[in-house]
Structure 1
Amino acid sequence: MDFADWTALLVAATAAGWVDAVVGGGGLIVLPTLFLVAPGIAPQTALGTNKMAAVAGTSASAITFARKVPVRWRILVPAAVIAAVAAGVGAAAVSLIDRELFIPIVMVVLVGVAIFVTLRPSIGITMATHPPTRRKVILVVGLAAGLIGFYDGLIGPGTGTFLIITFATVLGTEFVRAAAMAKVINCGSNVGALIYFGATGHILFALGAAMAVGNVAGAVAGSRMALRKGAEFVRVVLLVVVIGMVIRLGWQQFA
């Protein structure tokens, strides 16, 4: 790769870090760019290299959010461990499962998310009138970590989006706080997938390290903007990213 290719990847990683910090979905920016500048790269290597950058970005984002938003570490840290294990299993299943079967399902879910958020403008804007019990929070967060963590290892893009939507709709969590929760769990799922891809030799470490710098810069900027502008801003970005994911996955499936 030449200087222009490295520059394109750094810009893509920075943009992905910003998007991931606000609503998730940064993989839809980085992965196509990787395949564009390195058309011969194996899918597993592209995923593994992206995860190296994503781990740095989600960690920086989680720390930035935690400084301003109350985080229930006793619930989220164990959930992050669950997500790590689930993502590792998902990454191992990449070669065993036809991932193309999942794309239409994911597209339908994303369309449903966009319609739901559009028709229910109050979702994620204010906290629930009756906060959920601790038991319900543990159950929802644990299940989300396992199921969405597996998806992260298997497919990836949109993990943070699905986590935010789950917490906002099921727990009645405000979008900014839901984003903070999502970053902790997403960090765990990224680590789990990264460990698997690293153990199987599917990481370009020099490229991943360079992309991590841009991803961290974008993640910190995105987290600070989400905290400053609030839930309505996150809602708008969420809708834009969800629509973008549907278009991108549709093109990938039917082009």
Structure 2
Amino acid sequence: MPDISLTVVLLLCLAALAAGWIDAVVGGGGLLLLPVLLLGLPTGTAAASALGTNKAVAIVGTSGAAVTYARRAPVDVRLAVRIGLAALAGSCAGALCAAGMSTDVLKPVIMVVLLAVGAFVILRPAFGTAPAPGPATRRQILAAIGLAGLGIGFYDGFIGPGTGTFLVLALTAVLHLDLVTASATAKIVNCCTNAGALAAFAWQGAVLWQLAAVMAVFNLAGGMLGARTALKKGSGFVRVVLLSVVFALVANLAYQQWVA
């Protein structure tokens, strides 16, 4: 592990705690955790090490949140795993494509999509507040596997930021889930995409395991607390956090595209 001061490690752990909470409620914890890691690690540390360490931390918090949700929310675990396996394949394909393509072309498109999503959620207050009318149909399941699985999984491997948020939105729209159940399902799917990415980074030796282990404890606590908060506060609370994360993601992508 690089030489990092105790103060920086403490700040990284607090960021992991906050990121775990945000990610459990509505996704998007990486928007906080990854930039903090990039700033906190010593100059000269490979970017891949920050990415790999981020995935090693995130998968622990996501798994803890998924277990908490599965115990307390009406989650169709079997369906979530099917979507997750498709997302795993999609993320692997996205990672392979990312090696030879620039993501700069897609960032403005993603920003426009996110702004449209934000406007939609604001103008449709009932979005994600009602429970599903019944079991998902075959067409809905195939659409969820294609969009939330392969499509967003590919995005996670290709670009990455906001994957959890996109999953929540897609699952709410396609399967007509309430936002809490969509967040719960998204956590299981996200475990699969994180596992695929982590395996790739670990194979390349791009994970700072000692630092990740310490941060993961805090991320796990944040993830479990966030899941309990979402279950207690309900869809209205998740909606507010969702909008906050969507516009934070737009600002982050705009900064990367035109400022950084």
Classify the TM-score, shorter chain.
over 0.9
Match of 1:136 in 2: 139
Q: Distance in 2 between matches of 1:111 and 1:132?
A: 31
Asked if residue 56 in structure 1 is aligned to residue 60 in structure 2, the reply is yes
**Secondary structure of the structure 2 residue equivalent to 1:105:** helix
Shift in alpha-carbon separation, 1:213–1:133, aligned structure 2, 3 A: closer
SS in 1 for 2:161: coil
Structure 1 length as normaliser, TM-score? 0.95
Specify the alignment match of 2:111 in structure 1.
107
The 10-residue stretch of structure 1 (181-190 or 31-40) with the greater mean CA deviation from structure 2? 31-40
**Contact 1:71–1:180, Cα closer than 8 Å, also in 2:** yes
Alignment TM-score, normalising by the size of structure 2: 0.93
Tell me what 1:246 maps to.
250
Are 1:209 and 2:213 matched, yes or no? yes
Partner residue in 1 for 2:168: 164
Cα distance, 1:182 vs structure 2: 0.5
In the alignment, residue 99 of structure 1 is paired with which amino acid? T
CA distance in 2, matches of 1:88, 1:214: 28
Q: Work out whether 1:25 is the aligned partner of 2:21.
A: no
- Give the Cα–Cα distance (whole angstroms) in 1 for the partners of residues 205 and 97 of structure 2: 16
For structure 1, the 5+ residue unaligned runs are none
- Please provide the CA RMSD for this pair: 1.4
Within-5 A mapping of 1:223-234: 223-234=227-238
| Runs of 4+ with deviation above 6 angstroms | none
Cα 1:198–1:89, aligned 2, differ >3 Å: closer, same or farther? farther
Unaligned runs of 5+ in 2: none
Q: How do residues 80-99 of structure 1 correspond to structure 2 at under 5 angstroms?
A: 80-99=84-103
The superposition leaves residues 47-69 of structure 1 with CA deviations (integer Å, 9 ceiling, x where unpaired) of 11100011101110000001111
> Is the Cα contact below 8 Å between 1:31 and 1:46 reproduced in 2?
yes
The one-letter amino acid paired with 2:141 is I
What are the superposed Cα offsets for residues 192-244 of structure 1, whole Å, 9 maximum, x if unpaired? 11111111221111111122111101100100000000000000000011111
Q: State percent identity of aligned pairs.
A: 47
